[in-house]
Amino acid sequence: MVFFIQRPSRKTGLTGAFLFATTTARSSNALLGWNCGYTFFSNIMYGVLYAVSPEVFPAKYRGTGNGLTATATRVFSIMAPIIALYANLETAVPVYVSGGMIIGCGFLALLLPYEPRGKASI
């Protein structure tokens, strides 16, 4: 269980890698396999991010930081289908952009200096 909670960057990187891998699928079964891997790691990634996000903020600002994080998540979730309306879905470019952003978030998670394990939350 420690592997799944310890560092969000690993799961985020694996999520992005599996998303990139979906572009190599040449059959329906291959696409299903890559999507299963992507879904598995993205569910872990979201769970870890929702568990780690509140711990990154100091206790005094935790409510505000958590609210801003949740708001940003909802705003970008709303923007995704709007972008899809105007994007050229005949190419794999939207997948590459999404995968690149997810892997970029994994690198940003590596820069987080805070390790909450073994410390009091207040």
Dump the DSSP string for 2-65: HHHHH-HHHHHHHHHHHHHHGGG--SHHHHHHHHHHHHHHHHHHHHHHHHHHHHHS-GGGHHHH
On average, the pLDDT of the chain sits at 80
Of 13, 92, 77, which is closest to residue 48 (Cα–Cα)? 13
Q: Is 78 helix (H, G, I), strand (E, B) or coil?
A: helix
The more confidently predicted of residues 46 and 41 is 41
How is 56-72 classified by DSSP, letter by letter? HS-GGGHHHHHHHHHHH
Find which of 16-30, 43-57, 62-76, 86-100 is predicted with most confidence, using mean pLDDT.
Answer: 16-30
Structural domains in the chain (count): 1
The yes-or-no verdict on residue 4 having pLDDT over 70 is no
CB 105 within 8 A of CB 97: no
Domain of residue 99, residue span = 9-110
What is the mean predicted confidence (pLDDT) over 91-97?
A: 83
Contact of 13 with 56, CB cutoff 8 Å:
no
Residue type, 71: T
Residue 2 forms part of a structural domain: no
Q: Is residue 118 part of a domain?
A: no
| pLDDT band per the 50, 70, 90 thresholds, residue 39 | very high
Give domain status of residue 22, yes or no: yes
Task: State pTM to two decimals.
Answer: 0.70
Is 3 a domain residue?
no
